[in-house]
């Protein structure tokens, strides 16, 4: 007797649904095989491709997303708006999740889910390609699995987003909450003060709601080992280097490498 293999899976979402923590790393410019290979080798679950601040060649983006999936990662893409052209095309290119930057209102969260889910859960258009592993054997099963696998994440980075966080989390289909502390601090008139008590308190107010609702959320500050255990114990599940970039990480590594010679 053979077991039917799924057409599409999302390893990170499966871990979150089991209550297990996930780690992610953000990539801005370097959509190369070396990146997703190393990210997978060192143990990350998610690779986040930024399209808020960077414009990507669509062929290159598709290659990167497919390669990431083939290496056991969950590739997700950040978008600037819950627009069909941005959301559906990123998913069709192979993304297994979307991060909506500057998520501010319940209407935005509703639109994000609409364009991420196939009917009847949403209005995503069907075009099996990279998203379906280039197979059309069972379209009905694929659509069902895709709806169950897509990772819907809201990125809160404004006072409006903080105020509307609970209403946005009430939208069916929202899986996780992350933060943009830099933009949040700026919106609060605290430019550059990402760890100001008022900024941390604003994020904490959202975290409390997310934990109460059972929605995956990241801590206000990415912790050290001791802090990780503490944040994990209280229920935070999203960690890693998703608030930085690969060139910031490269700069840090380069500075460490040259330090003995300075």
- Report pLDDT for 135: 80
Is-contact 60 109, C-beta < 8 A? Answer: no
- Report pLDDT for 3: 60
- Residue corresponding to tokens 């699995």: 145
Query: Which residue among 53, 102, 191, 196 is the active-site one?
Result: 53
Residue 241, CB-side half-sphere exposure with 13 Å CA sphere: 17
- Residue corresponding to tokens 């941005």: 86
CA 222, CA 232: separation in Å to the nearest integer? Answer: 12
Neighbours of 182 (CB within 10 A): 15
SS3 label, residue 88: helix
Please say if 53 is a catalytic residue.
Answer: yes
Domains within the chain, CATH numbers bracketed? 11-261 (3.20.20.60)
- Report pLDDT for 5: 80
Kindly report, residue by residue over 7-65, the tens digit of the pLDDT.
889 999 999 999 999 999 999 999 999 999 999 999 999 999 999 999 999 999 999 99
Task: Give, for all 262 residues of the chain, the pLDDT tens digit.
Answer: 456 788 889 999 999 999 999 999 999 999 999 999 999 999 999 999 999 999 999 999 999 999 999 999 999 999 999 999 999 999 999 999 999 999 999 999 999 999 999 999 999 999 989 998 888 778 999 999 999 999 999 999 999 999 999 999 999 999 999 999 999 999 999 999 999 999 999 999 999 999 999 999 999 999 999 999 999 999 999 999 999 999 999 999 999 999 999 9
CA 234, CA 72: separation in Å to the nearest integer? Answer: 28
CA 20, CA 34: separation in Å to the nearest integer? Answer: 27
- Report pLDDT for 15: 97
């Amino acid at each position: 007797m053979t077991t039917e293999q799924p057409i599409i899976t999302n390893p990170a979402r499966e871990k979150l649904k089991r209550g297990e923590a996930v780690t992610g790393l953000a990539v801005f410019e370097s959509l190369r095989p070396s990146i997703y290979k190393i990210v997978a080798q060192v143990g990350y679950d998610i690779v986040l491709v930024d399209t808020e601040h960077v414009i990507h060649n669509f062929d290159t983006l598709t290659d990167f997303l497919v390669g990431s999936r083939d290496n056991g990662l969950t590739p997700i893409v950040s978008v600037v708006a819950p627009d069909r052209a941005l959301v559906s095309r990123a998913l069709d290119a192979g993304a297994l999740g979307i991060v909506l930057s500057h998520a501010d209102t319940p209407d935005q969260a509703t639109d994000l889910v609409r364009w991420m889910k196939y009917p009847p859960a949403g209005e995503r258009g069907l075009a099996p390609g990279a998203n379906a592993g280039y197979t059309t054997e069972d379209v009905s099963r694929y659509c069902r699995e895709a709806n169950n696998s897509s990772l819907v994440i809201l990125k809160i980075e404004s006072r409006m987003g903080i105020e509307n966080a609970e209403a946005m989390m009430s939208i069916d289909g929202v899986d996780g909450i992350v933060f943009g502390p830099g933009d949040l601090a700026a919106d609060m008139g605290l430019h550059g003060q990402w760890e100001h008590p008022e900024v941390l308190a604003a994020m904490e107010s959202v975290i409390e709601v997310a934990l109460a609702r059972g929605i995956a959320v990241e801590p206000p500050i990415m912790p050290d080992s001791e802090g990780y255990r503490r944040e994990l114990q209280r229920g935070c599940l999203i960690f890693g280097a998703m608030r930085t970039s690969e060139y910031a990480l490269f700069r840090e590594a380069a500075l460490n490498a040259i330090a003995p010679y300075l």
